Amino acid sequence: MTSFKNILITGASSGIGEALAIYYAEHGAEHLFLSGRNKERLENVAEKCRYRGIKVDTKVLDVTDKKAMDAFIKEADQKAPLNLVYANAGVSTGTETCEHVYNTFNTNIFGVLNTITPAIEIFEQRKDESKKAVAITASIAGYHGLPACPSYSATKACVKAYGEALRERLKKEDIQVNVICPGFVRSRITDKNTCPMPFFMEANKAAEIIAKRIEKNRGLIAFPFAMRLSVYLLSILPNCISGFIYGKLPHKV
């Protein structure tokens, strides 16, 4: 059972966000606040959670909208003091056009900032003993720039480093920060992938791993282990060697 009772999740209409919402509905959370861009999918997730006897509020918004995110998080905290905020929303780049690259950076970096910054401000002002935590969904792709997805891997490397640094800075204020680096997990993003996806995992299994490790405040939650080890080793090799290896890997088509 979870010790986090009031939880906010962005990008909750599919993939890991949806799976996390359902996991917490089944494991003792009391109130969920879910956001996404697609109203129909978001309400479908909310109904699945309500069916399990939990309070659910939804908000259709884009995480790149700073004012809307600030209002959403503050309104949620007024309804039920938040214990855990997931900055989970993210996009893949697809074709590396100028428009797509900027959209990837805006969503995957500024969308994270728009989520965790107001949450941290609320947590810093709260002086009670309640649990306070933020979680950032990065990616295994954040360990090293991948030629198949330069913009995506760059944005995930950014939020991974930021989250790891925040964890140490906020520790003295008793605010937990966990950074999540999954490999290939079923989502609307992976449904479009044309490249091989080693160690592919279903979203419900990934959500269970994430939730249990956040409960233990692991800090960096990277999985599956074999993929984490592989990308870590590639990240510490000289560029001439890692570049040669990446050049031999199949790319998206």
Active site positions, annotated: 152
Give the closest residue to 198 by CA, choosing from 116, 141, 244, 130. Answer: 141
Backbone angles phi, psi at 57, to 5 degrees: -110, 140
Measured distance CA(17)–CA(165) in Å, rounded: 24
Structure tokens at 156: 């995930």
Chain CA centroid to CA 225, Å: 18
Sign of the alpha-carbon dihedral angle for 41, 85, 142, 97? positive
The two three-digit tokens of residue 184, written as one number: 């290939």
Dist. CA 42–CA 81, nearest whole Å: 22
Q: Are 34 and 59 in contact (CB under 8 A)?
A: yes
Name which of 181, 194, 197 is nearest 229 in CA terms: 181
R_g (Cα) of the chain, nearest Å: 18
237, two tokens? 């090799």
